[in-house]
Amino acid sequence: MRSPTLLLLVACLILPAQTKLEKFLTQKLALTPAQLATLRAGQPIAVPVNGMVDREVSVAGVIRIDRPAARTIDVIRNIETLESGKGFLHTRKLSSPPKLDDFAAFSVDKDDVNDLRKCRPGKCAVKLGKPAMDAVARLDWASPGVAMRVNDLARKTAFDYVEAYRRGGNTELATYVDTDRPRFVAEEFADMIKRSEMLPDHLASLTGFLLGYPTAPRPKGTDDFYYWSVADFGLKPVFRLNHVVIHPVPPGTTTLYAIATKQLYATHYFQTALELRALVDDESQPGKAHYLVVLNMARSDGLTGIFGGLIKSKARSGSRNGLEAALRATKALAEKN
């Protein structure tokens, strides 16, 4: 029986000339001929990408999906199904416009409740901006039923945060004060959006909308939604708020859609995170199949200093494995039926 390595080698030798996308993958992501062959066979490829700062972990990935790109867009819009199963405790897409009731199913983890009791500016185990930190400090922690009031406060704070962002955009994003070095989420995000050149085609209209939301012109056909999720990947459960923007790319490139998932808030680990996805037409089967290209970037605590390199290496490995799993899940849902 021939080994997989030998089969990949044979496939590489008989492959046609590289497409525009494959040139991008070899030049930007340094994929090898063997990895390209794996990709054509329908398997995901994920690779680490050098971050812009020491606190950043970035990975990129790609998978071929044997369906029109519109099927993948449907999968992304159905975020409650896409982000379910292993690792995901709860995912909820917000109403349009969002309502306080959208957060009714969220409850603060009991360990986080205990940590919030001890929070103060500069030292808190939960990521909080100053308004949230002040609200937590005003709670009567000795009174009966305080856990229920913590949940009510968390739901209302999350809803108010989304509404403030919808009105004021990046200027309303938090400045985390849980450590002695405040982090300005808006500045971190503006820095990360520069990495959009890592996508196959330059998408100035999308990046301009993301930076200037909500006053920037909305590119034609672009729509967006919000969702929250609680994920547990073996560490602390993390509550996240995200803004998803789906942008149909005008004709003239092989990129059909670009999707940005912008993290607005996370209770742990992630100061800022941004996922950029491009749906690129398969030039060998235009309109019938496509490639999903993903760039994930996250900036986190604990990735610098004496032990930062080791932690970062583990985080990068975990991110790569997680991206491969997400690519497989997206492909399976898009190709279902």
- Identify whether 30 is part of a domain: no
Q: Where are the alpha helices (DSSP H) in the chain?
A: 4-14, 20-28, 33-40, 69-77, 79-82, 110-117, 130-137, 146-168, 185-192, 204-212, 308-334
Helix, strand or coil for residue 266? strand
Task: For Cα atoms 291, 293, 296, give the angle at the middle one, nearest 5 degrees.
Answer: 160
CATH of the domain at 272: 3.30.530.20
In a domain, 328, yes or no: yes
pTM of the model: 0.89
> Structural domain of residue 55, as residue ranges?
42-96+185-334
Alpha-carbon gap, residue 275 to 319, rounded angstroms: 12
β-bridge mates for residue 58, sequence order:
49, 297
What's the pLDDT score for residue 182? 62
255 within domain boundaries:
yes
Tell me, yes or no, whether 242 lies in a domain.
Answer: yes
Q: How many CB atoms lie within 10 A of CB 80?
A: 14
Please check whether residue 227 is in contact with residue 79, taking contact to mean a CB–CB distance below 8 angstroms: yes
* Residue % of the chain over a pLDDT of 70: 87
pLDDT digit string, tens, across residues 289-321: 999 999 999 887 654 444 344 444 555 567 888
The answer to whether 277 and 198 have CB atoms below 8 angstroms apart is: no
Please give the structure tokens belonging to residue 58.
């970035």
Residue 259 lies in a domain: yes
pLDDT of residue 326: 93
Do 278 and 247 meet the contact criterion of CB atoms below 8 Å apart?
no
Select the highest-mean-pLDDT range: 122-131, 153-162, 303-312: 153-162
* Amino acid at residue number 12: C
Determine the pLDDT at residue 271.
Answer: 82
What does the pLDDT look like over 159-180, one tens digit per residue? Answer: 999 999 999 999 998 888 777 6
- Arithmetic mean of pLDDT over the chain: 86
- List % helix, strand, coil for the chain (3-state, nearest 5): 40, 25, 35
pLDDT band (50, 70, 90) for residue 275: very high
Mean pLDDT of 240-259: 93
Span of 10-19, 141-150, 298-307 with lowest mean pLDDT = 10-19
pLDDT band at 91 (very low <50, low <70, confident <90, very high): very high
- Closest by Cα among 92, 239, 235, 243 to 163: 243
Averaged pLDDT, 98-111? 96
Poorest-pLDDT segment among 111-125, 189-203, 272-286, 309-323: 309-323
The three-class DSSP label of residue 256 is strand
pLDDT of residue 181: 67
CA 233 – CA 334 distance, rounded (Å)? 24
| Whole-number Å distance between alpha carbons of 292 and 257 | 10
Q: Would you say residue 85 lies in a domain? A: yes
The verdict on residue 125 lying in a domain is no
- Rounded distance, CA 259 to CA 223, Å? 10
Nearest partner of 265 among 227, 320, 307, 306, judged by Cα: 227
Domain count, the chain: 1
Q: Is residue 243 part of a domain?
A: yes
Query: Which pair of structure tokens corresponds to residue 138?
Result: 């005003």
